[in-house]
Amino acid sequence: MTHSSWHYRKKLKLAICLAFVEITVISSIEPTLAQSIIVPDNTLGSESSRVVIDENSLSQELITGGAQRGVNLFHSFREFNVGEGRAVYFSNPGGIENILGRVTGNSRSEILGKLGVLGNGNLFLINPNGIIFGADASLDVSGSFVATSANAIKFGEQGFFSASSPETPSLLTIKPSALFFNQIGAGLIENSSIAAAGVDAVNNPVFGLRVGDRQSLLLVGGNVLNAGGLNALGGRVELGSVASSGEVGLNVNNQNPALTFPNQVVRGDISLTNGAFVDVAADSGGAIALHAKNIDISRGSSLNAGIAPGLGTPETTAGNITLNATQAISISQSSSVTNQVSEDATGNGGNINIQAGSLNLTEGSELASRILGEGNSGNILVDVSGAVILDGLGSDGLPSRIINSVRPLAIGNGGNINLKAQSLTLKAGVLSSNTFGRGNTGNILVDVSGAVTLDDPSSVGLSSRIVNQVLSPAVGNGGNINIKAESLTVKQGSFLNASISGKGNSGNILIDVKGAVTFEGEGTEFFSGIGNQVLSSGVGNSGDINIKAESLILGQGNDLNASTLGRGNGGNIFVDVKGAVTINAEAGIFSVVRSSGIGNGGDINLKADSLTIRQSGALNTFTLGRGNAGNISVDVKGAVIIDGNNTDFNTGIATIVTDSAIGNGGDINLKAGSLTLTQGGLLSAGTDGRGNAGNIFVDVKGAVNLDGIDSRGFSSGISSQLAPSAIGNGGDINLKADSLTLTQGGFLSTTTFGQGNGGNIGINLMMPNSRLTLSDKATIAANTLGQAKGGNIQIEAFDSINLTNNSEISVNSQGQGDAGDLRITTGFLTLQERSRLLADTFSSEGGNIQLQVRDLLLLRNNSSISSTAGQEETGGNGGNIDINTKFLVAVPSENSDITANAFAGKGGLIKITTQGIFGIEERENLTEFSDITAFSQQNPQLDGEIVIDIQNADISNELVALPTNVVDVSKLIAQRCSVRPIATNQLQSQFIITGRGGLPPQPGEALRMPAIALSGSTINTEKEDQSPDIPSTPLLEANSWRFDEQGQVILTASNASSLGIKHGNCRGNS
């Protein structure tokens, strides 16, 4: 602010005061007060006060006499008034420091003219009925001035100088120590003065009541109303309101009285209105203090402290502004409380201290600490037991705000903003700490026991915000934003931001909330969110975003963003939530190196009980410029659900190097109880530019499900991809879970279209009963469509792997690069309905397939296992297929094949180690039946090799050890046959075996159906059954097999003993 603008501000305040000063104040004054009415009483006896007309000026009276006690001079009046246009001066004998005048009558004092002291003594005016200062009132006091409606002034233990119980002050020789109130409803203290009061140190005009520089101006009474000016340049202005009996401490130290308000004193109200102002700015010092129940500052009124323009030294410090209210403080209608180091000034600003039951800043009002010159600004400290509300714009369009700023051309550090309250609400309100100059910003600390709410009322159209910024052309570091609360809600385009557009590092944004953190809605300019960014003109590193809460909800379009558009590294984002994190439509958490950025992106770390991302919601780290993308770490106890179904953007978690970027992608590390990707949900790590794609690690205790397509036809999946424009290697995908299910086009893919090698896929499903299921065109692929080698796939599934309905697992090459290898280990492997295991190539070397299947490999309905090369009728050798399984089974007529063919190159090696092959056989060419082939289409001499190793069954694991104690069978079998029954229809037991009767082939297997029925039956005694003696044939168990010339299986028994079965004849008499 220039000198001329400083003058303009003073004149503007004067104009406002003249326009709005209360007419009732003037009209209430009696016409007779055109002459001063000063009537001494007789309470001082021979030392009574005397009023003398000044011989040199008929409009001026001089008060002499009084009782002198030490450094104190006492006067006593029945009435004391200064008429308009008149002047009243107190005589100041030598050695007197304090002049005290009391009014013992029943009328208030009205000061409409000038009141002064002919010397340097302090002046105390005491009238319990109240004191009024008119619009033309002025002071000519070189010392301090105290106007009070107290009943008495206390002097330590020596006694009181009382206006309500007047006595002669016999021993009051020490300095005053307190103001004593002994009535309810003390008189009003009111100031409307806008009279000219000289100039300040740089010749700017001063208006209103003014005491000597570096002195004190105190107004203490019942309610206190200021509608004019109060000035104590470099000194102290203090207003106090008392509503009942009690003592207010008075500290007179070095000629500067100051008040001390005990907590038990009941207070009244203080109001500043109609452009009222209090000014103490000077070359140093200067303090303002207000003590009341309620403090109301309205209609453009202001409190101003700090270092005045062009003044100060590096060692000087301004005083503080203190507002202390037991209930409410209201600052409205573009009013302000400011403590600043002004233009061309040097020194440090003082603090602004707010203590109250509640604080309301409305209609464009402000609390401000600024540096416009050289020096450090002070702190803004708000301690409120109830609510803090910043609401609405002023007539100038500015929001209600608390601001600590280093302005352009200024040199120095900003102070802190510390706010403690029960709740904080911003409605088109701003908390801001920023620097445009050369210096660091301060921190913003919000400590709220309840809710913090940032909102933008639709009628206003300005976003609420909490910001800490280094703005161009600033050179300095940003401070932190630290919010501690029960809950945080950011709505209608409101936001938190810590950014750099100058040179320096931004601070961190730290949120610690017991309950929910919620972002929702869109404003006229922005979506709601949190940003910590290096902007395009910025040079420096971005700070972190750290959120700790019970839950986090990002509504439509809302985001957390730590990015770099300039030269510097992006910050990290940490989310630590006990409950759920929900990212809704087009919302997201982003760490991005933009196209203009040079630097590395920050990491995203999320910890929660559950995570849900819906409809183009995203959790992304990108690099579009020159630098590496950050890593993404998700640690969730429960479910991670990514649900797409949006026509505009992808939904999911991604780390990407875009086509214009130079840098590596970050890794994705996801740990959860379960993972579900539906309707196009994605986990993606890819590169379109120059750099390596990141890796994806998934560690899930339960199930992983990849299912469905979105409205654009894009499937759900996990991918690491190199685009055609990419120069770099693809990342790996490693997945560990209890089960993995891919349905309706779900995919897991590492694909390279570019000049780098594709990434590998590792799947570990080794918990008991772990299964891998692919159905309905689901795929697991590590393919190459470019010049580089495709990745490998290794899958371990303890229980089974099942592919149905055109699903496939592939390591194909559709370009010039070699295919990777496929390794599978499982208990049961089933391929059905045109499902495939592929390591095919168009023109390069086929990949290898290795299958380790514990029990059964089953091929059905045109399914296939292939490592065929040269599918585009070009070169390349077929890959190898190595199958180790107990049984290999296919249906001959369903055309399921195992192939390692080549077009022009050499066929591959197919090696099958098994105990039995059923329904599929080796052939020289493919047929309509189920085949095993390894031919070279153009050159039979290059046919591959098929090796089938049929091994004997190993039944050692199926043998059961017999007990060591032999059972006494004599106790289990009747000793003799039953006597033939005599009577007919007598019950007799039976044991009948007919065939196998549903018994399982092996004792260890479960029953397929009820096997044996035991029941009582009626025996016809007239009929005898006689079983003929039939020679028994030894029953031998096969323990091996062989193929005959027609390929049929012949079961054989070797070293088997003959078992003779004897038939007993157990009947009655025959």
The larger pLDDT score, comparing residue 662 to residue 139, is at 139
**Tens digit of each residue's pLDDT (9 = 90 or more) over 405-432:** 999 999 999 999 999 999 999 998 999 9
pTM (global) more than 0.85: no
CA contacts within 13 A on the Cβ side of 438? 6
**Tens digit of each residue's pLDDT (9 = 90 or more) over 299-346:** 999 999 999 999 999 999 999 999 999 999 999 999 999 999 999 999
Beta carbons within 8 Å of 293's beta carbon, 6+ residues apart: 241, 243, 266, 267, 268, 269, 325, 326, 327
**Residue range 394-414: average pLDDT?**
94
pLDDT at 648 over 90: no
pLDDT at 838 over 80: yes
When mean pLDDT is compared across 56-65, 109-118, 912-921, 1034-1043, the lowest value belongs to 1034-1043
Of 378, 394, 269, nearest to 329 (Cα)? 269
User: Where does 254-298 show beta strands of DSSP type E?
Assistant: 256-260, 269-272, 277-279, 287-292, 294-297
The Cα–Cα gap between 464 and 526 comes to: 10
Q: Where are the domains of the chain?
A: 760-956
For residue 570, the model assigns a pLDDT of 87
Instruction: Supply φ then ψ for residue 400, to 5 degrees.
Output: -70, 140
pLDDT at 683 over 50: yes
**How does residue 990 score in pLDDT terms, banded at 50, 70 and 90?**
low
Tokens at 959, concatenated: 């043998």
**Residue range 1012-1033: average pLDDT?**
42
For residue 253, the model assigns a pLDDT of 72
Report the percentage of the chain scoring pLDDT > 70.
Answer: 84
Of 590, 553, 558, nearest to 573 (Cα)? 590
The Cα–Cα gap between 626 and 601 comes to: 10
When mean pLDDT is compared across 11-15, 260-264, 825-829, 869-873, the lowest value belongs to 11-15
Residues forming beta bridges with residue 484, ordered by sequence position: 447, 512
List C-alpha distances in Å: 965 to 192, 959, 974, 989.
117, 18, 21, 30
The Cα–Cα gap between 297 and 275 comes to: 9
For residue 1007, the model assigns a pLDDT of 44
The Cα–Cα gap between 899 and 937 comes to: 12
The Cα–Cα gap between 278 and 231 comes to: 6
Of 483, 526, 476, nearest to 502 (Cα)? 476
**Tens digit of each residue's pLDDT (9 = 90 or more) over 709-764:** 888 888 999 999 887 887 888 899 999 999 999 999 999 999 877 677 889 999 99
Peptide bond into 1034 cis (omega under 30): no
- Are 482 and 519 within 8 A, CB to CB? no
Q: Identify how many contiguous H helices and E strands the chain contains and give both numbers.
A: 2, 93
Q: DSSP of 787-806, one letter per residue?
A: SSPPPPEEEEEEEEEEEESS
How are beta strands 444-448 and 481-485 bridged, if at all?
parallel
Instruction: Supply φ then ψ for residue 393, to 5 degrees.
Output: -100, 155
- Are 503 and 540 within 8 A, CB to CB? yes
When mean pLDDT is compared across 138-152, 168-182, 787-801, the lowest value belongs to 168-182
pLDDT at 193 over 60: yes
pLDDT at 705 over 50: yes
**Tens digit of each residue's pLDDT (9 = 90 or more) over 751-793:** 877 677 889 999 999 999 999 999 999 999 998 887 778 889 9
How are beta strands 60-65 and 87-91 bridged, if at all?
parallel
For residue 592, the model assigns a pLDDT of 84
Report the percentage of the chain scoring pLDDT > 90.
Answer: 64
- Using left for φ > 0, alpha for ψ between -120 and 50, and beta otherwise, residue 246 falls in left
**Tens digit of each residue's pLDDT (9 = 90 or more) over 605-641:** 999 999 999 989 999 998 888 889 899 999 999 999 9
Residue 111 is which amino acid?
I
Tokens at 425, concatenated: 């609400």
- Are 316 and 284 within 8 A, CB to CB? yes
Q: What mean pLDDT value characterizes the chain?
A: 86
For residue 458, the model assigns a pLDDT of 58
List C-alpha distances in Å: 746 to 676, 740, 760.
11, 11, 18
For residue 1063, the model assigns a pLDDT of 35
- Are 280 and 201 within 8 A, CB to CB? no
- Exposure class string for 1035-1055: b at 16+ Cβ within 10 A, else e: eeeeeeeeeeeeeeeeeeeee
pLDDT at 104 over 70: yes
The Cα–Cα gap between 647 and 714 comes to: 10
For residue 982, the model assigns a pLDDT of 44
Tokens at 805, concatenated: 């309905």
Of 627, 559, 553, 555, nearest to 588 (Cα)? 559
Residues forming beta bridges with residue 674, ordered by sequence position: 639
| Kind plus residue range of the DSSP H or E element containing 17 | helix 3-20
The Cα–Cα gap between 511 and 243 comes to: 41
The larger pLDDT score, comparing residue 374 to residue 1062, is at 374
Tokens at 168, concatenated: 């002669």
**How does residue 1052 score in pLDDT terms, banded at 50, 70 and 90?**
low
**How does residue 352 score in pLDDT terms, banded at 50, 70 and 90?**
very high
For residue 711, the model assigns a pLDDT of 80
For residue 941, the model assigns a pLDDT of 87
Instruction: Supply φ then ψ for residue 17, to 5 degrees.
Output: -60, -45
The Cα–Cα gap between 864 and 930 comes to: 9
pLDDT at 994 over 70: no
The Cα–Cα gap between 714 and 692 comes to: 24
**How many residues in the chain?**
1070
Residue 39's CB is within 10 A of a number of other CB atoms, namely: 14
Angle at Cα 63 formed by Cα 57 and Cα 65, nearest 5°? Answer: 140
Of 1069, 1067, 1070, 1064, nearest to 988 (Cα)? 1067
For residue 964, the model assigns a pLDDT of 60
Q: Counting Cβ atoms within 10 Å, is residue 496 exposed (0-12), middle (13-18) or buried (19+)?
A: buried
The Cα–Cα gap between 107 and 889 comes to: 117
Beta carbons within 8 Å of 726's beta carbon, 6+ residues apart: 657, 686, 687, 688, 689, 690, 693, 752, 753, 754, 755, 756
